[in-house]
Chains A and B, each alone.
Chain A
């Protein structure tokens, strides 16, 4: 079946560095992509989203890039802080009724100060 996956299960960075978390997806019919952050003991929280008609979207300290040619999604976090330490998931969905978000396997980001 088709699924969303992540390139690296873990990423360790120093405080202040920029972080890049990557995700490869295989369903070319996906219309909408979301990055979620999950802190220990909590549910996933929305970070940023992007639709398939865009290739870049910026938020506060975060940027999502979408490359539909190679089916690649990335999350860039600027000036990473210890509070950014969490598991990050990309998720995809088609813009059809009766479908659900499909999640990738997650990347654990560890930020050391």
Chain B
């Protein structure tokens, strides 16, 4: 069983469209994250939710809206997609938000905006 699963794995779309990426974890973790990995492999935190509550919101355009219907799910919706949104988006989870915990990552969702 996959611990952190993301769908879709690949997403190709046109500029201006709206798209969503879904994430689910079956580890019983309380905290979930979205990271963005650019073409140079740099991983940057975008959002974090602890038990459905937003706790980290880095400087991300408000076209990005995370939603956590329950603590096992954290979805990412992106409006009005731009070329610069092309990246690999990783979902991750940890047991809690108390800092010193290992993140378990999903396999990533590669978004290509044309």
Report the minimal beta-carbon distance from B33 to chain A, rounded to whole angstroms.
6
Report the minimal beta-carbon distance from B52 to chain A, rounded to whole angstroms.
15
> Within 8 Å CB of B48, what residues of A?
98, 100
Question: Residues of B within 8 Å of A, CB-based: how many?
Answer: 26
A43 B90 Cβ-Cβ under 8 A: yes
From residue 42 to 63 of chain A, which have CB atoms closer than 8 A to chain B? 42-46, 49, 51
A99 B99 Cβ-Cβ under 8 A: yes
Output the nearest chain B residue to A101 by Cβ-Cβ distance: B103
Report the minimal beta-carbon distance from A1 to chain B, rounded to whole angstroms.
11
Of the listed stretches A11-19, A67-75, A76-84, A89-97, name the one at the interface; the rest are far from the partner chain. A89-97
A49 B102 Cβ-Cβ under 8 A: yes
From residue 26 to 49 of chain B, which have CB atoms closer than 8 A to chain A? 33, 35, 40-45, 48
B107 A98 Cβ-Cβ under 8 A: no
B100 A42 Cβ-Cβ under 8 A: no
Extra 17 A-B pairs, beta carbons < 8 Å, given A31-B99, A99-B99, A108-B41: A31-B100, A38-B41, A43-B92, A43-B108, A44-B105, A46-B103, A89-B43, A93-B99, A97-B55, A98-B56, A98-B97, A100-B33, A101-B103, A103-B42, A103-B44, A105-B40, A105-B42
Q: Which residues of A contact B (CB under 8 A)?
A: 31-32, 34, 38, 41-46, 49, 51, 87, 89, 93-103, 105-106, 108
Q: Which residues of B contact A (CB under 8 A)?
A: 4, 33, 35, 40-45, 48, 50, 55-56, 90, 92, 97-100, 102-108
